[in-house]
Every structure is written in structure tokens, then in C-alpha cells.
């Protein structure tokens, strides 16, 4: 019989709807039940595409013995981290503080008031049972001491958060030092930063491109070029279908963790777009990656509601990466003996394999001699792969991630002259504004057109506002600027803090045992950096000095992270670089000449080019037909038809 999760809008929770575990969704009802029974709470946090979440589900949560132990001694709560990033962030802080590391599935034991007293990640069934039984016995005999310890730990975490993010600034010297720090951590052989596992460092790459554009620093561009090319040729990039996996387990990016996330692909789409327009030697393969990734996004993640789904699973029928890996024999069967052997050699498919069971990911370490032949090979392999079982899709629509893609699609559409991409971005933005805004308040997600209950967090507002600003630049339609301004005005009230920073959650949101931090970036922009980037661009495009000043105040709260650990402040560094450059905005008048339009397309990365307005724009930045107006910060020059006057 289905449990309480059967009515959820989360595909991850629905995966657990038939478990024998008596699951509750996160909420006051679950904690009231724990207080009524006088038992602790088991909190299990994961997401639909997570391989080890599936493993723990099959081993433990589908097991009757585990379910019985939980029924007797706990209230079991299941959370989708993508729907409730605030809950995930708060308890991940406890997990990393207690264990020194984090990850998913996250497993925590809580008091009935929500304070954690044990935290960890994946546990095999036997270990989980030992933990649950021991903790239940201890709770019965020493509840008071355990609650006191949980209160003390929560207090220490709150004190640590209060000390974090001392005020300062992110100036040009700090930006140069960040580049030097990144260079010392750069892998010169395979690109990226640090050792395995390796995550695509998209926000850091976006910063480095802007630093190169402002200063001409060749080392910044070299790090971007190296990382992007090695990624594009690796097994972490899908050489058949397009799109990037979440991360690689090795230095060479050969073996990915196979889930494909919307936010990764949105951020990388922007990076490869800007690399293509910055570096002519990289443009052929960078543009290929952009076009293949857009095709994959539209084919695999576009929903009936005209927005984008969240992810594809790592597993297919319980086997990680089964859809994506090959043997030489399988290539011969799909392509014929001659083409199969040639493709195996080109794509690095060996007899022993690069992953388990003699199978290989596909890697394009060198270019094919015959591009037309290789295009045909990709098509035939795509057909053969489509006949295999396919990974599951998490089809909920997350505001923040769709906002990132709205911005990336609109920008790529402008760069490559693909108006259909701009149109896709606009259709997605209209859905988000129509469905995800309820009574003036942005929500986190929806599924099948039904909006969820969770309120949007700072990253949702910031990323959506930034996407709308990209649409304003790509179309000239002032409606998108107006909508972004409405979101940002509300965000200042909901998330703004007295010290100039931003909270991760709104004042109208649920109060957790620990207020989640919004300062750092991880796999996607944090709340503070998402809002700060949007404020910089809204200030530049809307001629709003107050927006630029507010962005500077916010950057002061992340200065320590930017200076000490730039890998975890990439999006804030993007904002700082654009502020250091001006920010620079180019407003085009109607019917710009061909030379002027080409010059606008060649402006440095980080320059905000606004296409001719369709009416109702700011009179201060409207220019006559065939002219362009260049503004740096709040100071604008004279309109000019000379391409040489553009940056």
C-alpha cells in the first residue's frame, strides 16, 4: 500500500511511495508526531538522479526489517534536496561538521524539535540497523543528555555561521590573486582544478573568461581553454547525444558519475558560448559542444509545460551508466565491422574497458579525419542506444535551474544567431512567471504544471532575474527588464540582511535549527552570488546606480571566501569582474549597420549588449537608428555609428 509520499510532487519522493517504511514528508505534522510519541526523527535526504540514493533505497528502505525498526522507534522523514535546498543545506552543515565530509544520501537523526544528534551519508543495511537500534536504546535511557548535546551542537553551528563572512571588499588586486590561486591548483595535463573526483568548474571558468577580457591575462584564458577542451573530448561529455554528466571519478574526466543535471549543462552552455566568441582556435569544437548540448536539452529535458526537467538518472535498471557505455563488439554490431573498429579506435573503446565489466565510455581525444563519416557514426550510435533501456527522468521544474538555462539559451541564441533558442528561453520564462509566482511570491518548483508548496529561495529569485535580464539583452523587450526588477525589489525585502548580505531563505520561510548560508557557491550559484550577479546586470541595463551599490555591499560579505577559496566563489567573482570593468553596457539602436552589429558581437565577455528596444525602454539609454551607446557604470558616452567606438 502506498505511503504518505504518494501525493508528492517530487519524483524522488514518489520513488519511495511504495516502500514499507512509514515515510512522512518534511513538515510540522511529522515533528508533532515525533513529539507526541516521544521518539527521534530519521531524516533521509537525496535526489532522483543520485546513484547511492538508489542503492540505499533498495538495500534498506525496501526492506521490511528496516521498516519495522523505524516504525517502532522513529518518525521517518524523506526530503528531496532539490525541492528543499534550505533543509538540505542546514543539515549538510551538521553532517560536514560531525564527519568532515558530506554527500547524498544524507542520513541524520534528529530530536523531535529538529536538532541533529547524529549525521552521516550512505549506510549499508547492517550498519543502518545497528545505528537505529543503538540510538533508540540510548534515546530511551539517556534522552535528556542527548537533547542537551544536540542543543549545544546546534548553538555551536549557529555561532560559526555568525562569524563567517567578515566584511571586506573584492577589488582588482583580489581578482588577480584569485587567478593566481586558481593557477596553482590547475591541472595542466587534464584541465580542471585539484584531483579526483573532478567537477566541471563552470562558474570559475566564467570568472576567468571575464578576467581575461578585462586584463588580457593569458593564463586565465589558458586555464579555460584547457579545461573546456579536455572536458569536451572526455567521457564526462556524451559524445553521442550531447550534454555533460555531473562529475568524473578520475583526473582525466574519462569515467563520469553518469547523472546529467540541468544546472551543470546550463552553466557550461554559457561558458562554451563565451569561449567560442573569445578564442578563434577553440571556436570549432566549443560551438559544436554548444549546439549538441542545446539539442540534448530540447530532446531530453523539455517538458510539455514548456520548461526544462531537472535531471536524468545515473542508473538504468539499477546499473550505473548502462545506457552510455560500449564494448568493441557492440560498436561493430551497430556500425558494421569496419566502421565499428575505426570508431572504437577513435573513441577509446578498449578490449579491457575503461569502466566495469570490460565496458568503455566514449572519448574523442582527437578529431576524426572525416567529419561527415563521424557525424554518420554518431547518428547510428544514437539510434542503437535509443533501443536500450533509458535512465529515468526527474521531470520537476526547478525555478533556479530553469532561470540559469533561460539566461544561457538567450545568450547563446544571440551569439550564434539562433532566434529559436531565444524563443525557447522566452517560452520557459513565461511559464515560470505564470505558474511559479503565486500571490506575488516565487515558488521553488512545479511538476506537470502543478506548482509545489516550497517557497523559492534566494538562488531561485537571483537566477530567474538574471535569465530575464539575458532575455532583455537578446530581444530588447523592456518587459523582461521590468519583470526582473519586480523580482529583485521583492528579493531585497525578503532576503536582504542588515550587514548588506543576503539570507538563503526568505523572512516568510520556515525557521530551521540553523539558517542556511547563502555566501558560497558549490555545484551551482549560491543565493548571495545569484542575487549579486542579477543586481549588477539589472543596474547596468536599467541605469540603476542603487542596484550597483547594493551588489557591492553583498560582495563585501563574500570577500573572505573569494580571497581564501576562489574555487567556491566563482559566481561572486563573475559579479566582481563585471563591476571592475564598469560594468560595460552597449545599447544598440534600431537597424544597426552590418559592421556595427558584427562589432557588438565581438565585444569582450562580460559586456552587456542590449538589442534595439521594442518600445517602452529607458529614454536615457535609447539611441537612434544605426547608432550604439556605450555606458561604463553610470557614465555613458555619445551615440556613435562607428564600430571602433565599441569596446
Task: State the pLDDT at residue 481.
Answer: 97
- Length of the chain measured in residues: 647
Strand partners, 260: 312
Task: State the pLDDT at residue 1.
Answer: 57
Phi first, then psi: give them for residue 623, nearest 5 degrees.
Answer: -125, 160
Interatomic CA distance for residues 525 and 508, integer angstroms? 22
Task: State the pLDDT at residue 166.
Answer: 52
Interatomic CA distance for residues 547 and 549, integer angstroms? 5
Interatomic CA distance for residues 513 and 119, integer angstroms? 14
Task: State the pLDDT at residue 165.
Answer: 53
Phi first, then psi: give them for residue 353, nearest 5 degrees.
Answer: 90, 155
Tell me which residues of the chain have a pLDDT lower than 70.
1, 163-168, 614-621
User: What are the Cα distances from residue 374, in Å, to 232, 295, 327, 371, 552?
Assistant: 16, 17, 18, 5, 49
Note the pLDDT tens digit of each residue in 6-22. Answer: 989 899 999 999 999 99
- Across 106-259, the runs of DSSP E, i.e. the strands, are 106-110, 116-120, 247-248, 256-257
Place of cell 559586456: 607
Classify residue 89 by its DSSP letter.
H
Count the Cβ atoms, other than its own, within 10 Å of residue 52. 16
Q: By the 8 A CB rule, do 506 and 457 touch? A: yes
Interatomic CA distance for residues 571 and 529, integer angstroms? 6
Task: State the pLDDT at residue 164.
Answer: 61
What is the 3-class SS of 477-523, one letter each residue? CHHHHHHHHHHHHHHHHHHECCCCCECCCCCCCCCCCCCCCCCCCCC
Element (H, E) at 410: helix 399-416
Instruction: Report the SS3 class of residue 357.
Output: helix
Rounded (10°) angle between helices 262-278 and 399-416: 20
- pTM exceeds cut of 0.85: yes
Interatomic CA distance for residues 28 and 23, integer angstroms? 14
Amino acid at each position: 500500500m502506498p505511503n504518505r509520499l504518494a501525493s508528492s510532487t517530487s519524483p524522488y519522493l514518489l520513488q519511495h511511495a511504495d516502500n514499507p517504511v512509514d515515510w512522512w514528508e518534511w513538515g510540522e505534522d511529522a515533528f508533532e508526531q515525533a513529539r507526541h510519541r516521544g521518539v527521534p526523527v530519521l531524516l533521509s535526504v537525496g535526489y532522483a538522479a543520485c546513484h547511492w540514493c538508489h542503492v540505499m533505497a533498495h538495500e534498506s528502505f525496501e526492506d521490511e526489517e528496516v521498516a519495522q525498526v523505524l516504525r517502532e522507534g522513529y518518525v521517518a522523514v524523506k526530503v528531496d534536496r532539490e525541492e528543499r535546498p534550505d533543509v538540505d543545506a542546514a543539515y549538510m552543515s551538521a553532517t560536514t561538521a560531525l564527519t568532515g565530509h558530506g554527500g547524498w544520501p544524507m542520513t541524520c537523526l534528529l530530536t523531535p524539535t529538529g536538532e541533529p544528534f547524529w549525521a552521516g551519508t550512505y549506510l549499508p543495511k547492517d550498519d543502518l540497523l545497528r545505528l537505529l537500534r543503538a540510538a533508540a536504546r540510548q534515546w530511551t535511557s539517556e534522552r535528556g543528555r542527548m537533547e542537551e548535546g544536540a542543543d549545544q551542537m546546534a548553538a555551536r553551528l549557529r555561532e560559526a555561521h555568525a562569524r563567517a563572512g567578515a566584511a571586506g571588499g573584492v577589488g582588482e588586486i583580489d581578482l588577480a590573486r584569485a587567478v593566481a590561486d586558481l593557477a596553482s591548483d590547475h591541472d595542466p595535463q587534464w584541465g580542471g582544478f585539484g584531483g579526483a573526483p573532478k567537477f566541471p568548474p563552470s562558474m570559475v571558468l566564467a570568472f576567468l573568461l571575464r578576467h581575461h577580457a578585462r586584463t588580457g591575462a593569458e593564463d586565465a584564458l589558458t586555464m579555460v581553454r584547457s579545461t573546456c577542451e579536455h572536458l569536451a573530448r572526455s567521457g564526462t561529455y556524451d559524445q553521442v547525444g550531447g550534454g555533460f554528466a555531473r562529475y568524473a571519478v578520475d583526473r582525466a574526466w574519462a569515467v563520469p558519475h553518469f547523472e546529467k543535471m540541468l544546472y551543470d549543462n546550463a552553466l557550461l552552455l554559457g561558458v562554451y558560448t563565451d569561449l567560442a566568441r573569445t578564442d578563434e582556435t577553440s571556436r570549432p569544437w566549443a560551438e559544436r559542444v554548444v549546439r549538441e548540448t542545446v539539442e540534448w536539452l530540447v530532446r531530453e529535458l523539455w517538458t510539455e509545460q514548456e520548461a526544462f526537467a531537472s535531471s536524468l538518472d545515473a542508473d538504468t535498471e539499477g546499473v550505473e551508466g548502462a545506457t552510455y557505455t560500449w564494448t568493441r563488439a557492440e560498436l561493430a554490431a551497430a556500425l558494421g565491422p569496419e566502421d565499428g573498429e575505426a570508431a572504437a579506435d577513435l573513441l577509446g573503446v578498449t578490449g579491457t574497458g575503461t569502466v566495469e565489466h570490460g565496458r568503455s565510455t566514449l572519448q574523442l581525444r582527437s578529431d576524426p579525419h572525416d567529419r561527415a563519416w563521424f557525424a554518420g557514426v554518431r547518428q547510428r550510435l544514437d539510434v542503437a542506444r535509443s533501443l536500450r533501456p533509458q535512465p529515468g527522468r526527474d521531470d520537476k521544474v526547478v525555478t533556479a535551474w530553469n532561470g540559469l538555462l533561460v539566461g544561457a539559451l538567450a545568450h547563446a541564441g544571440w551569439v550564434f544567431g539562433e532566434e529559436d533558442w531565444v524563443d525557447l528561453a522566452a517560452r520557459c520564462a513565461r511559464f515560470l512567471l505564470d505558474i511559479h509566482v503565486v500571490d506575488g511570491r516565487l515558488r521553488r518548483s512545479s511538476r506537470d504544471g502543478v506548482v509545489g508548496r516550497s517557497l523559492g529561495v534566494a538562488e531561485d529569485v537571483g537566477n530567474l532575474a538574471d535569465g530575464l535580464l539575458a532575455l532583455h539583452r537578446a530581444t530588447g523587450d523592456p518587459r523582461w527588464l521590468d519583470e526582473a526588477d519586480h523580482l529583485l525589489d521583492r528579493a531585497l525585502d525578503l532576503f536582504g540582511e542588515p550587514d548588506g548580505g543576503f539570507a538563503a531563505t526568505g523572512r516568510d520561510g520556515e525557521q530551521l535549527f540553523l539558517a542556511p548560508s547563502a555566501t558560497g557557491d558549490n555545484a551551482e550559484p549560491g543565493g548571495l552570488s545569484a542575487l549579486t550577479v542579477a543586481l549588477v546586470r539589472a543596474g547596468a541595463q536599467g541605469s540603476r546606480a542603487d542596484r550597483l551599490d547594493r551588489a557591492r555591499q553583498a560582495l563585501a560579505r563574500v570577500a573572505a571566501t573569494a580571497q581564501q577559496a576562489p574555487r567556491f566563489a566563482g559566481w561572486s567573482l563573475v559579479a566582481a569582474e563585471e563591476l571592475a570593468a564598469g560594468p560595460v553596457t552597449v545599447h544598440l539602436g534600431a537597424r544597426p549597420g552590418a559592421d556595427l552589429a558584427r562589432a557588438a558581437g565581438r565585444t569582450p565577455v562580460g559586456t552587456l549588449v542590449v538589442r534595439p528596444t521594442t518600445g517602452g525602454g529607458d529614454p536615457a539609454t535609447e539611441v537612434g537608428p544605426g547608432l550604439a551607446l556605450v555606458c561604463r557604470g553610470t557614465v555613458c558616452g555619445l551615440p556613435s555609428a562607428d564600430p571602433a567606438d565599441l569596446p
